[in-house]
């Protein structure tokens, strides 16, 4: 088995709250500088930078999980990851179908820019990506799994936009692949919060919005190779694979 250093929650310049310096190239450069083997690209309600970052990162030997940080109807933030471009495109269409048509106010929320490999802006996302999709957490979870994806409730230790703050407790029958805890979140008390899901894997990420935050929190994936299925096995602690918190 090998140990791979992973930071699975990184925003880009496309997220309104993401720093303008968070271009695909900068993210890959920082990931390399921090010695990350795996990165996860998770903009708010958009997957539009994933393919470009995957192309740039994998030339440099950094494995990229493509996905998004979805906001559900209940305003719960959840990470979703997909293995290939077709599944990613399908999920992007799903997001666009259910994102409320509320326009982004750039002065208040910031730019939502899609850029190319030269860091030139090729598209400005019109609708505010922070809005909640008109889909319940159960519907989002089912969509993610119908596309063979991974479904991970985000920063469950936080008092806002987390599954525990919005829903009081974690639904017993929700099909969860892992939980995410924030960069400095304590995990001792979380065993009670996650209750019947207590055997599920917990990952720690940076939730980076600025270049310097990339890799500031991470976890180590113990597995054979860097593939989507190996990562799934590590999250499920199957066949000797596992995840170790930093």
Partner 1 sequence: MTVNELVKQLRLQVFGGEQGLSNEITGGYTSDLLSDVMGHADSGKVWITLQTHKNVLGVASLKELAAVILIKNLQPDNDMLNQAQQEGIPILGTGKAAFEISGELYNLLKK
**Interface with partner 1 by CB under 8 A: which residues?**
73-74, 136-138, 159, 164-169, 171
- Rounded-to-integer distance, Cα 220 and Cα 210, Å: 22
- Closer CB to partner 1, residue 164 or residue 220? 164
C-alpha–C-alpha distance, residues 12 and 85, integer Å: 18
- Judged by beta carbon, residue 136 or residue 242, the one nearer partner 1 is 136
Least distance to partner 1 from the beta carbon of 172, Å?
9
Smaller CB distance to partner 1: residue 38 or 137? 137
Kindly state the smallest distance separating residue 178's Cβ from partner 1, in Å. 20
Smallest gap from residue 233 Cβ to partner 1 (A): 30
Shortest separation between residue 141's beta carbon and partner 1, angstroms: 12
Nearer to partner 1, 76 or 80 (CB): 76
- Encoded tokens for 90: 């399908």
- For residues 12 and 18, the answer to whether their CB atoms sit within 8 Å is yes
Report the C-alpha gap between 94 and 106 in whole angstroms.
24
β-bridge pairing 2-10 and 38-44: parallel
Kindly tell me which of 100 and 240 has the beta carbon lying closer to partner 1. Answer: 100
| Token pair of 71 as six digits | 């906001």
Q: Which is nearer to partner 1, 200 or 209 (CB)?
A: 200
Tokens of 190: 């979380």
How near is the Cβ of 174 to partner 1 at its closest, in Å? Answer: 10
CA distance 31 to 11: 13
User: HSE (CB half, 13 Å, CA atoms) of 40?
Assistant: 32
Q: How near is the Cβ of 165 to partner 1 at its closest, in Å?
A: 5
Helices within the chain (DSSP H only): 24-33, 50-59, 85-98, 106-109, 137-146, 163-167, 190-194, 228-235
């Amino acid at each position: 088995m090998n140990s791979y250093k992973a930071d699975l929650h990184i925003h880009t310049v496309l997220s309104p709250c993401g720093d303008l310096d968070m271009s695909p190239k900068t993210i890959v450069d920082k990931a390399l500088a921090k010695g990350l083997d795996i990165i996860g690209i998770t903009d708010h309600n958009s997957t539009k930078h994933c393919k470009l970052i995957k192309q740039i990162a994998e030339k440099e030997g950094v494995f990229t999980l493509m996905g998004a940080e979805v906001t559900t109807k209940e305003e719960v933030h959840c990470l979703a990851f997909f293995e290939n471009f077709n599944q990613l495109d399908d999920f992007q269409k799903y997001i666009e179908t259910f994102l409320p048509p509320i326009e982004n106010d750039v002065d208040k929320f910031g730019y939502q820019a899609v850029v190319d490999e030269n860091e030139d802006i090729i598209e400005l996302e019109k609708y505010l990506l922070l809005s909640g999709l008109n889909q319940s957490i159960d519907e989002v979870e089912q969509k993610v799994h119908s596309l063979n994806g991974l479904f991970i409730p985000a920063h469950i230790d936080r008092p806002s936009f987390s599954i525990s703050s919005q829903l009081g407790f974690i639904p017993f029958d929700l099909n969860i692949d892992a939980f995410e805890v924030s960069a400095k979140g304590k995990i001792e008390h979380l065993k009670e919060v996650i209750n019947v899901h207590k055997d599920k894997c917990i990952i720690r990420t940076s939730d980076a919005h600025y270049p310097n935050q990339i890799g500031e929190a991470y976890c180590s994936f113990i597995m054979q190779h860097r593939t989507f299925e190996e990562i799934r096995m590590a999250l499920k602690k199957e066949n000797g694979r596992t995840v170790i918190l930093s």
